[in-house]
Amino acid sequence: MRRHRNVKIVATLGPSSETYEMIRALHEAGADVFRLNMSHGTHDGIREKHRIIRQIEEELNSPIGILADLQGPKLRVGAFAKGEEELEEGASFRLDLDGAEGDGARVCLPHPEIFQALEVGSTLLVNDGKIRLRVTECGPDYAETEVIVGGTISNRKGVNVPDVVLPLAALSEKDREDLEFACELGVDWLALSFVQRAADVEEARELARGRAAILSKIEKPSAVEWFDNILAASDGIMVARGDLGVELPVQNVPPIQKRLVRKCRAAAKPVIVATQMLESMIESPMPTRAEVSDVAAAIYEGTDAVMLSAESAAGQYPVEAVTTMDNVAREVEDDPTYTQIIEASRVVDRTTVADGIVAAAREIAEATDIVAICCFSQSGTTALLTARERPRVPIIAMTNLVGTARRLALTWGVNCVMTGTLDRFKQAVLGAARAAREQGYAEPLDQIVVTAGVPFNVPGTTNILRVAPCQESLIYATDPG
């Protein structure tokens, strides 16, 4: 399905969006990638959603990406005898490994690895940062804290430890089981939660064995600090602003978001901006002005994709939320200021033949009356490099691998078309011209730029560029061989 925008939309599926009718409606409204949250639901339920997505993909002849989001390690306090307690500012509160029910003076924190990492002065955040504790004394099985910001603490609330790197594996036992299940199912992307270092990504890649691309969620200060290494180890990035906004001062998040998006673009790796983008649409058919501005800001920054979480998974207006994102994206991308911002932030560090080919394709398209850039891509790398250039004309990625087409559903501006196996460049040109016409990007007398690698079907060999007409008789006339 042709989209009249470049930024992609990721929609999370859940109780509000698990039927065939609703998933199809979300895709037709603009969802390019569906997120399956492994924190909720059963394997049987996730398998059924996957089946429905693939059925819709076949019916509409439209490659759809599927992202499985692994839960990651969840740190929570234990239970309280009364269910909840009120912590007063300035009071003392103890966290320990004692499994007894908690009270106003203490509670169990069943994570010895936290106590191993804590130091005097460390901060603990409870219940999404609503309660803030500072460590005054600690040992291998306890931490005495002072309540800096008080409030109600209740059973099994989440705990964040923002200023230390925890000796935790990014993949819990549940995550390992979910990862294998998702890979066997045939998802396209695996999202890793609470990544702290590149080694976390490398562990997941080893387990995935090439069956899915690895996307790292940036949720912790340590991930921001070591971002360059994490980016190098990952196939894509999600700026997950929920936990990031808990563990860092909220005013730090916007500049971090902008910086990470630019680094991802420079590396030609897709990046998603996520969390609370249209949160009010969980209960309202209309977003707030601030939310619309937030989505627009991410698009102006050049992000590859914007994501809906509870809005599409559990909200009352999932289709309206996707439609709103689609409308905002189209309006922003029609703004001349958008083009100015995107082109002003273009990366010019090019070191390979493929870098030069895609840059030349973009420059030719912008200097002449070219209507589209068609790139043949086995692994998806050429399409990613072309998208990094952020050309003003559509990108048509031609591939004979459905897995490549599905993964590219997350990438800015890339429209995937399946093609047969090729062995001659002339076949590629004819196929590109046909696809451009059939997909509505070109008329017979229009011209396109075609890039490919010769020999064909060898990843990473992009080395040829041709300007070609979209009428087959003209192609034969200019290249009778």
pLDDT digits over 26-71, tens only?
999 999 999 999 998 899 999 999 999 999 999 999 999 999 999 9
Q: Is residue 347 part of a domain?
A: no
Catalytic residue flag (residue 35): yes
Does 43 share its domain with 107?
no
5, 8, 106, 217: the active-site residue? 217
Q: Is residue 264 part of a domain?
A: yes
Q: Is residue 309 part of a domain?
A: yes
Buried b (16+ CB within 10 A) or exposed e, 280-300: bbbeeeebeeebbebbbebbb
Catalytic residue flag (residue 123): no
In the chain, the number of structural domains is 3
| Backbone region of residue 75 per phi and psi (left: phi > 0; alpha: psi in -120 to 50; beta: other values) | beta
12, 123, 145, 275: the active-site residue? 275
Catalytic residue flag (residue 220): no
Mean pLDDT of 290-317: 97
Does 99 share its domain with 240?
no
CA angle centred on 191, ends 189 and 192, rounded to 5°: 140
Mean pLDDT of 454-476: 81
Does 357 share its domain with 249?
no
Task: Tell me the per-residue pLDDT of 114-146, one tens digit each, with 9 for 90 and over.
Answer: 999 999 999 999 998 899 999 999 999 999 999
3, 24, 76, 211: the active-site residue? 76
Does 182 share its domain with 291?
yes
Which one of 267, 301, 334 terminates a domain? 334
Task: Tell me the per-residue pLDDT of 217-244, one tens digit each, with 9 for 90 and over.
Answer: 999 999 999 999 999 999 999 999 988 9
- C-alpha count within 13 angstroms, C-beta hemisphere, residue 332: 24
pLDDT at 480 over 60: no
- The larger pLDDT score, comparing residue 404 to residue 455, is at 404
Q: Which domain holds residue 384?
A: 353-478
5, 35, 132, 241: the active-site residue? 35
Residue 477: predicted pLDDT: 66
Which one of 115, 138, 160 terminates a domain? 160
Does 201 share its domain with 326?
yes
Task: Tell me the per-residue pLDDT of 319-363, one tens digit each, with 9 for 90 and over.
Answer: 999 999 999 999 999 999 999 999 999 877 778 999 999 999 999
Give the predicted TM-score (pTM) of the model: 0.92
Does 359 share its domain with 442?
yes
Does 185 share its domain with 89?
no
CATH of the domain at 437: 3.40.1380.20
Q: Is residue 270 part of a domain?
A: yes
Catalytic residue flag (residue 275): yes
Residue 323: predicted pLDDT: 98
